[in-house]
Amino acid sequence: MKLLTRTFLAVALFLPTLTSFSPPSGSHLKLKGGVGGKYGGETRRSFKSPPLSPSLLPKQPSSTSLHAALPLKLIFGGLLSGGFHAITGPDHLAALLPRTLNRPFLPSSRVGLLWGLGHGVSVLMLGLCMWFMKTASGLDTYFLRLGKGLEVLVGLSLVLIGYLGYTESTQSLSSSSTPTSSLSTRAILLNGLLHGFSLDGAPSLAPSLAAGGLVNSLYFLVFYAVGTAVSMGVAMGVVGEGTRRLGEKKGGKVGVRISKGSSLIAVVVGVVWVWLGLRA
């Protein structure tokens, strides 16, 4: 009897404590089900994982780092595009080979560098015109008409350069001397400036239109001009020095014949250029 009495007293003392218990705030322990619930009165415990700490989440590149990387990409892209365009243009080689063959490295490099600088300036102007044409209406028609006229002028300049180169090579062959260039620094710059306005290089300027703004476009265009000048200077220096040594090894007439051949190629390319300009 005493044991039963003590048991009832213990239950009476602890029952209010058990019924008033509630989980602490912020706890992720949840109780589902209950009497008459979906699980037949059984209690099911589910645990919700705490949120990850911000330090454990993968870091996204900041806008500052993205803006800093974009100019570098445009600079390298401009250098590569300008360099490849300079040494692969058929009118470029046709214009410069008669001026640089059979000459030492430094004079040939000077011709290529000056020509490339003139070409780079006109390409910069061409790229800016293309950029402003994105927002201005009516300029594209005038731009295309001007481009057709400049194509004809480029072709005529190639014919003139080829004619002068062939004449100088013939005189050199008769006098047994190395052909020299009769073009002045100003003439070389102007010829490069004229060739830069040729529309054959316009597709290589497309990245400047997608750069996102005028400043980014200038990044690409300026270093496009630098790449053109440097690549033409190096390429023409190598060509001039190489043909000069070949002429010394095989005989002076070999180098002169190469000069005459390149001059004839310049004339042919010029005639084709004029025909394409008139046909367009």
Give the pLDDT of the chain (280 residues) as one tens digit per residue. Answer: 555 555 555 545 555 554 454 555 544 444 444 444 444 444 455 545 555 555 555 555 454 544 556 678 888 888 998 888 888 887 888 888 888 888 899 999 999 999 999 999 998 988 888 887 766 655 556 666 666 777 788 888 888 888 888 887 777 655 555 455 556 778 888 888 888 887 777 777 878 777 777 888 888 999 999 999 999 999 999 999 998 888 888 766 776 777 788 888 888 888 988 888 788 6
Cβ-contact 81, 204 below 8 angstroms: yes
Q: Which residue stretches of 176-202 are H helix?
A: 185-196
User: Residue 132 falls within a domain, yes or no?
Assistant: yes
Looking only at Cα atoms, what is the longest distance across the chain? 144
pLDDT of 260? 83
Rounded Cα distance between 70 and 66, Å, is 6
User: Residue 121 falls within a domain, yes or no?
Assistant: yes
User: Residue 186 falls within a domain, yes or no?
Assistant: yes
Rounded Cα distance between 118 and 187, Å, is 10
| Predicted structure pTM score | 0.66
Q: Which residue stretches of 20-138 are H helix?
A: 63-88, 90-100, 105-132
The domain in which residue 191 lies consists of 74-279
CA 73, 74, 79, 84 dihedral sign is positive
User: Residue 8 falls within a domain, yes or no?
Assistant: no
Tokens representing 149 are: 């006229």
User: Residue 136 falls within a domain, yes or no?
Assistant: yes
End-to-end CA distance of the chain: 120
What is the count of structural domains for the chain? 1
User: Residue 57 falls within a domain, yes or no?
Assistant: no
The DSSP letter of residue 203 is: G
